[in-house]
Structure 1
């Protein structure tokens, strides 16, 4: 979860253009006798070091303290590697648990799709069915929430982690909407908090139980759980960029320092919009299962993948104004789509929350599932696809693709 998913997009897109070359020249071919994880790690060492040293706020460069990467091709095993630290003085393990922020939204979107398939709700239901106080609730549909087209106001982030999800929603409803429902695209964390409540009310079951019994347990995701309501491996705290005016996004175009991240109320408070904890290997299994068609039926997967017109127009206009090649093509009802050089189209979701950011993506042309988790929520580094552009082609090469 993040305050603004496209902070100073023009300047951060320039960074993307400058670091695409990170994977252009692979390191020397290592011995083929190494085990899968060891071979992958050896092949990815140089690329990960280069990636970690690449961010900039526009005023100064800094190093990502730690990055974990996991991937698989086809039905092959998931392999993973890591570089750097997850906490001060602690080497980051390839299977380390992270707070994955908005990558949580894929679990919420898939849950809503399953409930639509089962008839517990309908994507065309208007949200006044569950939220009579919602401004414009007779016009806002479940699908609009999934596609970030409701026009409702964003969360009060100062309340996140201090009040219940329903109280967060109630606060949104007293704010003036920002546009008419269905007319624009604007990334909205509040919409996915509402979807979590919609799922609970429609299924008459707590959100945590729904995602655990439908997704986490069946897929064997042993490092994945909803923070604040379930338990699992301790997540790394990660790091934060600190400057004179604040931290994280506040430091764009300023000098700053990388410091340890303190526990954040957003970790449990982001709930169905961003409270999941998971690892790179778990997320690789999850994104392959979801985009590969093993979680929702073909009709609902198409709903998740089909880019909304409002989102494609938004991203096209933003890239055109920045003068750099288009990367993110838009969003559907839960899944984002990117076009990655030398790899092709990829579908998935990114996330950022205090202490970390990352992405899970599946690239069908290469039959590649890839997950990148970084132990910092940075400024000046595009949160929409952190590491996907500079690392994916190299990961595919490292897997022998």
Structure 2
């Protein structure tokens, strides 16, 4: 959840984005009741768009009830297509929570366990006999992230097969002994999604539809493909005197690590469903929320004052996204962007300040 960079899934920004959360939620929270303060927040978010700072889709709910939503900017700058409630964004690493849910559901069906070793599926990956499903879920496998490989930029926009991606992952030397350290790696969740496909004998797109989006009626959430504005999908941009459209990562590359497309509302409802027992059992959710180095099993957790939010951040191409759920008061915040020329953390802090009735102190 870091500063702007050109790599669509790079460790420098996109999928090491979680490291920023230590400075994200740092303000004191004293208000006990929620007060959206919509007019001031609306003005702030609108000004970001009109001043070429950031385009956004914001959706906030509390205990499943909508509190606030705001849409500003363009899904397509070239065609002057505005961002609306129907706009679908690439949500990057938030996809990892979807993949983790699928894995936990397989564990509940006794198809896997947290202690299942990777060599049962991919024995050619170094240390596979010592790497567990839990190590993969918690980024403690020691497997090098393929997005950190300089070659990544060469192939990221072209279709890749599972065999091609596994061949790359298998060729990397381990970074450390499994279980001894934490290091965020997209390879972990690509591998997990291949395991999900193997056990379901279906594509990841089909499994997500069957297990998550159809049961929850999330009709705007799916594994992405080439962007189509006719399908309400947004392009992404970076600013260099004007908004410049970014190349599109082919979704076969991130796969379960970052291939999902969704709206702000659908993403918000996914996390509401997760934390209200509609996707996994209480024991599975507890395991997902057990943090080590700030990360659990497909979930990150950080405080906002004395409050704690669980969720995930994401980045892919020019997209940046954040989703967080407070299990104590039920506040659920989703911020999606396809164009950032501003401090994304300041936007998240400002939305949270507004939701908790605190003065908004971030100004352009």
Task: Specify the TM-score bucket, using the shorter chain as the normaliser.
Answer: 0.7 to 0.9
Secondary structure of residue in 2 paired with 1:217: helix
**In structure 1, what is the Cα distance between the partners aligned to 2:322 and 2:351?**
12
The reply on whether 1:121 has 2:119 as its aligned counterpart is no
Q: 1:358 aligns with which of 321, 326, 336?
A: 321
Structure 1 residue 336: deviation in Å?
0.4
Structure 1 residue 13: deviation in Å?
8.0
Larger RCO (CA within 8 A; separation ≥ 6):
2
The reply on whether 1:148 has 2:139 as its aligned counterpart is yes
Q: 1:174 aligns with which of 164, 171, 175?
A: 171
Structure 1 residue 257: deviation in Å?
4.1
**In structure 1, what is the Cα distance between the partners aligned to 2:356 and 2:214?**
29
Task: Work out whether residues 303 and 332 of structure 1, in 8 Å CA contact, stay in contact via their aligned partners in 2.
Answer: yes
The 1:190/1:386 distance shift into structure 2, 3 A limit, reads farther
| CA deviation map 1:270-314 (0-9, x unaligned) | 211111110001011101111222210011101110002xx2xxx
The 1:189/1:149 distance shift into structure 2, 3 A limit, reads same
**In structure 2, what is the Cα distance between the partners aligned to 1:230 and 1:207?**
19
Structure 1 residue 394: deviation in Å?
1.0
Task: Work out whether residues 226 and 250 of structure 2, in 8 Å CA contact, stay in contact via their aligned partners in 1.
Answer: no
Task: Work out whether residues 208 and 230 of structure 1, in 8 Å CA contact, stay in contact via their aligned partners in 2.
Answer: no
Comparing 176-185 and 386-395, the one that deviates more = 386-395
**In structure 2, what is the Cα distance between the partners aligned to 1:268 and 1:73?**
35
Task: Work out whether residues 239 and 258 of structure 1, in 8 Å CA contact, stay in contact via their aligned partners in 2.
Answer: no
Q: How does 1:238-387 map to 2 (within 5 A)?
A: 238-241=236-239, 256-308=240-292, 311=293, 330-341=294-305, 344-376=307-339, 381=343, 387=347
**In structure 1, what is the Cα distance between the partners aligned to 2:324 and 2:278?**
15
Structure 1 residue 170: deviation in Å?
1.7
| CA deviation map 1:215-255 (0-9, x unaligned) | 001111111111139999331102124xxxxxxxxxxxxxx
The reply on whether 1:391 has 2:354 as its aligned counterpart is no
**In structure 2, what is the Cα distance between the partners aligned to 1:51 and 1:304?**
35
The 1:198/1:93 distance shift into structure 2, 3 A limit, reads same
Comparing 65-74 and 78-87, the one that deviates more = 78-87
Q: How does 1:65-144 map to 2 (within 5 A)?
A: 65-77=54-66, 79-88=68-77, 89-144=80-135
**In structure 2, what is the Cα distance between the partners aligned to 1:358 and 1:270?**
16
The reply on whether 1:188 has 2:195 as its aligned counterpart is no
The 1:265/1:338 distance shift into structure 2, 3 A limit, reads same
Task: Work out whether residues 340 and 388 of structure 1, in 8 Å CA contact, stay in contact via their aligned partners in 2.
Answer: no
Task: Work out whether residues 227 and 235 of structure 2, in 8 Å CA contact, stay in contact via their aligned partners in 1.
Answer: no
For normalisation by structure 2, the TM-score amounts to 0.82
Structure 1 residue 266: deviation in Å?
3.7
The 1:303/1:150 distance shift into structure 2, 3 A limit, reads same
The 1:84/1:218 distance shift into structure 2, 3 A limit, reads same
The 1:96/1:395 distance shift into structure 2, 3 A limit, reads farther
| CA deviation map 1:331-373 (0-9, x unaligned) | 10111001013x7100001100012111111112221111000
Task: Work out whether residues 90 and 316 of structure 2, in 8 Å CA contact, stay in contact via their aligned partners in 1.
Answer: yes
Task: Work out whether residues 193 and 271 of structure 1, in 8 Å CA contact, stay in contact via their aligned partners in 2.
Answer: yes
Q: Which structure 2 segments of 5+ residues have no match?
A: 1-7, 359-364
The 1:292/1:110 distance shift into structure 2, 3 A limit, reads same
The 1:234/1:49 distance shift into structure 2, 3 A limit, reads closer
Aligned residue in 1 for 2:4: none
For normalisation by structure 1, the TM-score amounts to 0.75
